[in-house]
């Protein structure tokens, strides 16, 4: 606030020590406040109001101030002295330099050399005083800058506890406030993330009734046609898909289980719409037992079926799973009709058409879900060009924090290692 002030105390001997090294035997330095009281001097006589030096100094200051002079000569008893006065910028303080003219002359110093040297000394003194005060106020400047930037740092940045006692106390209080505010913000973010994760999980668990009705109708049609083998395969795939989505309440499943869900989904779609669209799976064996969020890939394969291949168009959807250092990389590539820039924008924004969907979760929800679990460095990237197909990349950490990879056997890994083509 504008009515708040900060006071910095500087010992007089600290100031005197800075300029004493620059004075000579025939000159003195005196620092006066706005009342012309002596604040510092290398000659103790100026601190005595009754001394000749002090009286002559007061007379010199008064006359030089009234006449706006920077240089004047006055006599003190038998001594003839030259007085130099310089005001400190932005203050009413004055620095007075005194030169014993006679001693300087008889000491084989030319008067103008002494004057120039004195001015140089005064400039050095002013600079040193500025540096000293700057060092004392730097912690306050740093504290003020940190406060201004705290909103951009999410209230995480502390300030060093240094400087005078008052500044140290201010810094400690600010750091404590930042800690408490940071904890509160983290709690709010955690609650919102948990709430959003629960909403997405609820969408994931909502199997679209129309999808179920139409799948059962397709199975009925296969049975009516007498295709017992195909109808049995579709029923098994449908039961397995429902078991792994509705009955299995775990949020994370293995990559192997996720691929099985995709194969079942593809098999059901091919039974309903024909085998014009094929699906191929390329999964490295060492990736099979890592845990991933359930149904993380299904919305993308679903999108390829409904939007990548118009009715009657043939094509292939390829699913790749590989390792990249500490991450898992999923690629879903189709050679369908692709998307325009506007279609790609709507898809990335999570907009959905009225086409039939397996669950309530869409592609936009998947990206949000990945970032909630793994952080902002992970998520999806979509590349598409009209009539050139679509490529979707998903980057996940190998295992979410606190989730262990499942223990798989060599036989299980070998069984799912190679490329698999799903036919109708």
The pLDDT assigned to 105 comes to: 56
The pLDDT assigned to 412 comes to: 38
CA gap 48, 78 in Å, rounded: 19
CA gap 389, 335 in Å, rounded: 4
The pLDDT assigned to 17 comes to: 80
Look up tokens 């079942």; give the residue: 264
Which has the closest alpha carbon to 217: 205, 236, 235? 235
Q: What angle do CA 271, 301, 338 make, to 5 degrees?
A: 110
User: Exposure of 22 by Cβ count < 10 A (0-12 exposed, 13-18 middle, 19+ buried)?
Assistant: middle
Which has the closest alpha carbon to 256: 271, 240, 268, 270? 240
12-149 and 208-422 share one CATH topology?
no
The pLDDT assigned to 361 comes to: 63
The pLDDT assigned to 199 comes to: 61
CA gap 18, 140 in Å, rounded: 23
* Burial 353-373, CB ≥16 within 10 A → b, else e: eeeebbbebbbbbbbbbbebb
CA gap 327, 322 in Å, rounded: 9
- Please give the chain's pLDDT, 424 residues, in tens: 455 566 667 777 777 887 777 777 778 888 888 888 888 888 888 888 888 888 888 888 888 888 888 888 887 666 778 888 888 777 778 888 888 766 655 555 555 676 788 888 888 888 888 887 777 677 777 767 776 666 666 556 676 766 666 677 777 777 788 788 777 777 777 777 676 666 655 555 556 666 777 778 888 888 888 888 888 998 999 888 888 877 777 788 999 999 999 999 999 988 888 889 999 999 999 999 999 988 889 889 988 888 888 877 899 999 999 999 899 999 999 999 998 888 887 776 666 554 556 655 677 778 888 888 888 899 999 999 888 899 999 999 997 655 555 544 333 333 333 444 443 3
Helices (DSSP H) in 206-283: which residue ranges?
Answer: 209-225, 228-242, 255-273
The pLDDT assigned to 422 comes to: 43
Domain ranges of the chain: 12-149, 152-205, 208-422
What topology is assigned to 208-422 in CATH?
Answer: Heat Shock Protein 90 (3.30.565)
- Which secondary-structure segment (H or E) carries 66? helix 52-66
pLDDT in tens, 256-307: 999 999 999 999 988 888 889 999 999 999 999 999 988 889 889 988 888 8
CATH architecture of 12-149: 2-Layer Sandwich (3.30)
Most distant CA atoms of the chain, gap in Å: 135
The pLDDT assigned to 34 comes to: 85
Which has the closest alpha carbon to 243: 223, 221, 260, 226? 260
């Amino acid at each position: 606030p504008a009515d708040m002030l900060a006071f910095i105390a500087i010992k007089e001997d600290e100031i005197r020590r800075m300029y004493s090294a620059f004075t000579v035997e025939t000159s003195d330095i005196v620092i006066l406040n706005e009342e012309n009281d002596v604040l510092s001097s290398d000659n103790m006589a100026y601190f005595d109001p009754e001394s000749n030096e002090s009286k002559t100094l007061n007379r010199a200051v008064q006359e030089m101030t009234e006449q706006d002079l920077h240089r004047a000569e006055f006599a003190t008893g038998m001594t003839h002295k030259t007085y130099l006065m310089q005001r400190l910028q932005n203050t009413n303080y004055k620095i007075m330099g005194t030169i014993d003219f006679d001693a300087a002359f008889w000491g084989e110093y030319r008067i103008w050399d002494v004057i120039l040297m004195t001015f140089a000394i005064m400039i050095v003194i002013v600079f040193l005083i500025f540096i000293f005060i700057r060092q004392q106020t730097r912690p306050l400047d740093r504290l003020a800058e940190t406060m201004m930037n705290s909103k951009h740092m999410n209230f995480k940045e502390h300030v060093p506890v240094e400087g005078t006692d008052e500044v140290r106390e201010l810094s400690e209080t600010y750091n404590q406030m930042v800690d408490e505010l940071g904890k509160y913000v983290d709690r709010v973010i955690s609650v919102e993330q948990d709430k959003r994760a629960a909403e997405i999980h609820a969408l994931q668990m909502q199997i679209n009734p129309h999808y179920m009705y139409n799948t059962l109708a397709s199975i009925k049609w296969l049975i009516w046609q007498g295709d017992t083998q195909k109808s049995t395969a579709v029923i098994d795939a449908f039961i397995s898909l429902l078991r792994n989505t509705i009955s299995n309440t775990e949020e994370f499943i293995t990559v192997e289980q996720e691929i099985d869900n995709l194969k079942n989904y593809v098999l059901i779609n091919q039974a309903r719409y024909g085998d014009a669209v094929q699906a191929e799976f390329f999964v490295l064996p060492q990736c099979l037992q890592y845990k991933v969020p359930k149904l993380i890939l299904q919305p993308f394969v679903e999108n390829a079926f409904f939007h990548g291949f118009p009715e009657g168009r043939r094509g292939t959807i390829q699913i790749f799973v590989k390792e990249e250092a500490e991450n898992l990389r999923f690629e879903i590539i189709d050679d369908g009709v692709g998307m325009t820039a506007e279609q790609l924008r709507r898809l990335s924004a999570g907009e959905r058409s009225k086409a039939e969907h397996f669950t309530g979760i869409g592609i936009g929800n998947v990206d949000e879900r990945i970032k909630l679990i793994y952080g902002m460095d992970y998520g999806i990237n979509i590349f598409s060009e009209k009539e050139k197909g679509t490529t979707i990349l998903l980057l996940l950490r190998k295992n979410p924090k606190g989730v262990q990879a499942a223990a798989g056997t060599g036989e299980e890994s070998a069984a799912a290692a190679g490329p698999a083509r799903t036919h109708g």
